[in-house]
Amino acid sequence: MDAAELRFPGAPPWTCLVAASWRERARGLLGRDGLDAGVCMLLRPCGLVHTFGMRFALDLVFLDARGRVVKRARGVPPGRIRWGGRRARATLEAQAGWLPDLPDGALAELGCAST
């Protein structure tokens, strides 16, 4: 799985694990006990996520095709489904309570990926 730097205006950078293949998206964060502070996962393409089998709650940020925030869901516990709406094309997942407050329309900037 590739990693990249993720930035939102006015927020510190995050290390972003990029799940781009079907297998990586299907696995997502399953089997993990949590994430380090400042680490998130980007599922792309993805507009709907579930937390069945998760061991921790998630903060979710749904992004449109241009990388702009279209919806947020905070503190989603295990055993739930969340849909980002018709415009959602990607989803950021982070451990609950770690993502900054992001307004609708905030633009995610993803730096060069590395393996």
Q: In the prediction, which pLDDT does 45 show?
A: 94
Q: In the prediction, which pLDDT does 88 show?
A: 97
Q: 108 CB contacts (<8 Å, ≥6 apart)?
A: 6, 7, 8, 61, 63, 67, 68, 69, 92
Q: In the prediction, which pLDDT does 1 show?
A: 81
Q: Per residue of the chain (115 residues), what is the pLDDT tens digit?
A: 889 999 888 888 999 999 989 999 989 899 899 998 889 999 999 999 999 999 999 999 999 999 999 999 999 999 999 999 999 999 999 999 988 888 899 999 888 644 4
Q: In the prediction, which pLDDT does 112 show?
A: 64
Q: For the chain, which domains are there?
A: 2-110 (2.60.120.1140)
Unique residue bearing structure tokens 């510190």: 12
HEC per residue, 81-104: EEECCCCCCEEEEEECCCCCCCCC
pTM for this structure? 0.90
